[in-house]
Amino acid sequence: MAAVTQAAPERIAPPRRPRVVFKGATVWRWVVLIVAAVYFLLPLWAALRFAGIGAFGSVISQPGFTSSLALSVRLAILTTLITIALMLPTTVYVHLRLPKLRRLLEGITILPIVIPPVVLIVGVLAIAPGFLKGTSWLLALAYVVLAMPFTYRALDAGLRALDLKTIVEASNSLGAGWLSTLWRVLLPNLRTALLSATVLCVALVLGEFTMASLDLYQTFPVWIYVNSQTSGQVSVAASLLALFVTWIFLLGITVLGTRQSRKTGGGEVTLFTVARTETRGN
C-alpha cells in the first residue's frame, strides 16, 4: 500500500494513489485504442462511401429477410446452449479430476479448426440418420464442432484464472453436491469466460456461410449473399448490413445480461468483468 505520511498528531493524511506512475500508461492505452479504432472503422467507412445509403433499402426489402434471420438466430441459440452444456462440465471436470487429460482435450478441441467445412459437412451428412438430416438441427450440431476450439479456449482461460480446486473443495465441504457446485459456485465465477464463449458462438453462427449453403439451408448469411447480386453497391451494402445486424444482436445479449444481473443484485456485468475495486484490501 502507499506510504502514510505523518502529519499533525490529530490527523492522518489519507493514502495517496501514485497517479504519476500511471499517467504515461493511460495515454499509451488510449493511443492503442484509437489506432485500433481507425484500423477497424476506416475500411468500413470506405465501403459505406462506395455503397451509398440507398443500397441498404433495396437489400432489406427483399423477401426472406426475417425468416432467414430467424433461422440463424434459432441456430445460434441452439448451438450456444449445446456447446456450453457440452464443453463447460467437461472442461471443469478435466481441470479438476483428470488433469493429465488436459493436453489431450486441448489437442482434440483444436482439431476442428483445420477441417475444411466441406469435409465436415460431408462427414456429418454421411453418418447422420435420415430424420435428423431433414431438419436444420443437424446444422446446429455441426456448428457445435466449429465452435469448439473457441469455446474451449475461452473457458480454459477463465478456469486458469480461478483457484478451481480450492473453490470446489470449499463448496463440497459446505455440503454442496456436484451439480449445485457447478451451478451456484462455478457459473458466477466464470461469467466472463461464459459470455466470451457465448459471443464467439453466436457471432460464428450468424456469420457462417459455407456449411449452411452446402446443407442447402437459407440462413441469414446465405440470404444476404443471394440478395446482394443486383449490383456491386448492393452486395457491399448487404455485407455491411450483416455485420451491423450481428453486432446489434450481440449488444442486445450484453445489455440483457447486465439488466439480469442488476435484478438479482449482482454488480454491473459488462461482457468482461475485471476485479478492479474489491481486492484493494488484500
Partner 1 sequence: MAGTVQAPGPVTGPGAPGSEAAADPGPPARLTIPKLLRGLRRAAGVVPFGVYVALFLIAPLVAVAIGAFQGNDGGFTLSNVNAATHGVYLKGFWQSIILSVITSVIPGILGLMVAYAIVKAEGGNLLRQIAITAAGVFANFGGVPLAFIFIATIGSSGLVSQWLTTLGFDPYTHGFTLYSLLGVVIVYLYFQIPLMVLVILPALEGLRPAWREAAENLGARTWDYWRYVGGPVLLPSFLGCVLLLFGSALSAYATTEALTNGTIPLTAIQIGSFLNGNVIAGQENTGKALGLGMVVIIAVAMVIYVAMQRRAAKWLR
Partner 2 sequence: MAAAAAVTGSLLLTVGCSSSNSSSGSASGTTGSGTNWATASSAAAGGGMNALVAAAKKEGTLNVITLPANWANYGTIMKDFTAKYGIKINDANPDGSSQDELNAVNQLKGQDRAPDVLDMGTAFAVKGAQQGILAPYKVATWASIPADAKAADGTWFADYGGFVAIGYNSDKVKTPPTSFADLLKPEYKNQVAINGNPTQASAAFSAVFASALANGGSLNDITPGVSYFKKLHTVGNFVPVTASAATMESGQTPIIVWWDYLLASEIGPSVKGLKIVIPSDASYAAYYDQAISKSAPHPAAARLWEEYLYSTTGQNLWLQGEARPIELSTLVKDGTVDQAAYKALPPAPSGNVIFPTQAQQAAAENIVAQQWSSVIG
Considering only 111, 122, 170, 174, the residue that binds partner 2 (CB under 8 A) is: 122
Site for partner 2 in 51-90 (CB under 8 A): none
State the number of binding residues for partner 2 (CB under 8 A): 25
Q: Measured between alpha carbons, how far is 91 from 169 in angstroms, rounded to an integer?
A: 17
Measured in residues, the chain has a length of: 282
Closest distance of CB 188 from partner 1, Å? 13
233 binds, among partner 1, partner 2, none (CB under 5 to 8 A by kind): partner 2
Three cell numbers at 13?
Answer: 493524511
Helix (H) or strand (E) holding 13: none
3-state SS, residue 53: coil
Nearer to partner 1, 176 or 250 (CB): 250
Q: Is 230 in the site for partner 2 (CB under 8 A)?
A: yes
- Using the contact rule CB under 8 A, the part of the chain among 161-169, 211-219, 251-259, 263-271 near partner 2 is 211-219
142 forms bridges with which residues in the sheet? none
If binding is defined by CB under 8 A, does position 225 make contact with partner 2?
Answer: yes
| 186 counts as binding partner 1 under rule CB under 8 A | no
Among the listed residues 73, 161, 176, 226, the single contact to partner 2 using CB under 8 A? 226
Is residue 127 involved in binding partner 2 (CB under 8 A)? no
- CA-wise closest residue to 155 among 206, 201, 204: 201
- C-alpha distance across the termini of the chain, in Å: 10
| CB contact set of 133 (below 8 Å; sequence gap of 6+) | 125
User: Cβ of residue 218: shortest distance to partner 1, in angstroms?
Assistant: 18
Instruction: State how far the Cα of 75 lies from the Cα of 219, in Å rounded to an integer.
Output: 9
Binding partner of residue 36 among partner 2, partner 1, none, CB cut-off 5 to 8 Å per kind: partner 1
Using rule CB under 8 A, residue 90 touches partner 1: yes
| Rounded least distance, CB 80 to partner 1, Å | 12
By CB under 8 A, the residues from 145 to 184 that bind partner 2 are: none
| Best CA proximity match to 194, nearest among 122, 137, 269 | 269
Partner that binds at residue 229, options partner 1, partner 2, none, CB closer than 5 to 8 Å by kind: partner 2
Which of the choices partner 2, partner 1, none does residue 130 contact, using the CB cut-off of 5 to 8 A by kind?
A: partner 2
**Cα-flanking dihedrals φ and ψ of residue 17, to 5°?**
-80, 130
In sequence order, the 6+-apart residues with CB closer than 8 A to the CB of 189 are: 162, 167
User: What angle, rounded to 10 degrees, do the helices at 137-160 and 117-127 form?
Assistant: 120
* Residue 260 within binding range of partner 2, rule CB under 8 A: no
Nearer to partner 1, 78 or 199 (CB): 199
Give the separation between CA 101 and CA 152, rounded to whole angstroms: 14
Interacting residues toward partner 2 by CB under 8 A = 50, 118, 121-122, 125-126, 130, 133-134, 209, 213-214, 216-218, 222, 225-226, 229-233, 235-236
